[in-house]
Amino acid sequence: MLTAALVVTVVVAAAALMTRLRMLVRVTVDRRPGHVLALGFVAWFLAVPLEIESIAMAVDRWAGWALAWTLLHVIACAGGFFTQTFYWLATSDRTDSLQRATVASSVRRSAVLGVSALTVGLILFATRPRDVNFLSGPAGRMVTPGPVHPVAALIYIVIVSYFAYTIASFTVTSWRWAAKADLPWLRRGLRIHTVGCVFGLVFCAHVIGYQLAEAVGIIPPWPELQGDGALVALSLLPAFVGVTAPGWGPRVEQIARSLRHYRHRRRLYPLWRMLSGSVVTLDPPQSEWQDRLRLRPGQQHALVYRRVIELWDGLLALHPTMSGSVGLDGPDLAGDIDWWLEIARAVRSRPLDEVLASYQGQS
């Protein structure tokens, strides 16, 4: 189950990476934030397969030592750094020299912290490259809980602490940016992304807490890999979905709107048949099935608008003195559609003239 979740995450990550790279190509003003984000996406994409036990074990067998652990944590820290840098660049005014200097200082500070944490961690790791704490598969502490050497636990804590620092940074920035975003799908995407970031922080807390517990002789009742893998999937999936939402969200919304217009047009079809006989209609369907099969999403708004126009034409042809509560001068098409849907529902059980008379307050 865990492996399947991680595989799905890899697929979503690949799709997200392709989406962001495609958007990056279209940018012509300042590509730096997009380039940095693309590097972060590449890092996240490469890190996820190393969380899958069978892949990590194959890498370790090939190297003869815990190479998968080393690659995973170096790549993850790089992904955190690039994503953090993207948020700093994207949320600052690069024409303001003070903000530009502040961002540059923050990036340098994060880079120094990251290189320092990785250097300390890898030096300590070099003293215990085959420690059971870093092995993949059933022999490793990720799968089989047990006591760990304090130095091995310290390596985890040093590296993951920097990773947590980067996640905390862009979690706060993502949430603040969402509150200021004026585009609906940018705002939604950033909030979804923030949810993924929060799970990333929970992942870091889980790793550090688990290592501390094992270092002092407390053995948790669940394997670390089980908790870490689930939290990685819960983190990366919403993070990738959220950061690409401005690209696919409007298209999904457009499809949903087209489906709604199609459904409204079909519900108005029986009433349209009753009223359209007295007027000349534009491009009328030859049959109900032809009306059903007008499926192109881009046409649905125009078709339902035409249906409403023809309903009014039919009504006014039969009853020239009558006008609806909304009418063509209403605030929008949705108001007219709602009014006609009410009429269509009432006509199912009562004669049309009686329904129209009741809406006009006539006896």
Residue bearing the bigger pLDDT, 271 or 9:
271
pLDDT at 109 over 90: yes
Give the pLDDT score at 329: 44
- At what angle are helices 333-347 and 352-359 packed, to 10 degrees? 130
Residue bearing the bigger pLDDT, 339 or 25:
339
pLDDT at 1 over 60: no
Q: How many other CB atoms are there within 10 angstroms of residue 19's CB atom?
A: 18
Alpha-carbon distance of 144 to 131, in angstroms, equals 13
Give the pLDDT score at 24: 47
Alpha-carbon distance of 182 to 197, in angstroms, equals 22
For the record, the structure tokens of 28 come out as 């012509």
For the record, the structure tokens of 199 come out as 């799970």
Least confident of 1-5, 102-106, 312-316: 1-5
Most confidently modeled range among 7-16, 150-159, 237-246: 150-159
Contact between 144 and 223 (Cβ < 8 Å): yes
For 90-132, give the DSSP string.
Answer: HTS-TT-HHHHHHHHHHHHHHHHHHHHHHHHHHHHHHTSTT-T
pLDDT at 121 over 90: yes
Most confidently modeled range among 18-27, 186-195, 350-359: 186-195
pLDDT at 37 over 90: no
pLDDT band at 14 (very low <50, low <70, confident <90, very high): low
Q: Residue 118, Cα to own-chain centre: how many angstroms?
A: 30
Give the pLDDT score at 53: 79
Query: Nearest-5° angle of CA 230, CA 79, CA 25?
Result: 115
Q: Residue 237: name the closest of 203, 173, 192, 205 by CA.
A: 192
Give percent of the chain with pLDDT exceeding 70.
Answer: 84
pLDDT band at 322 (very low <50, low <70, confident <90, very high): low
In sequence order, what are the residues at sequence separation of 6 or more whose Cβ sits closer than 8 angstroms to the Cβ of residue 77?
114, 117, 118, 159, 162, 163, 166
Give the pLDDT score at 113: 95
Tokens 């007219």 belong to 336
In sequence order, what are the residues at sequence separation of 6 or more whose Cβ sits closer than 8 angstroms to the Cβ of residue 198?
171
pLDDT band at 347 (very low <50, low <70, confident <90, very high): confident
For the record, the structure tokens of 357 come out as 């008379």
Give the pLDDT score at 5: 55
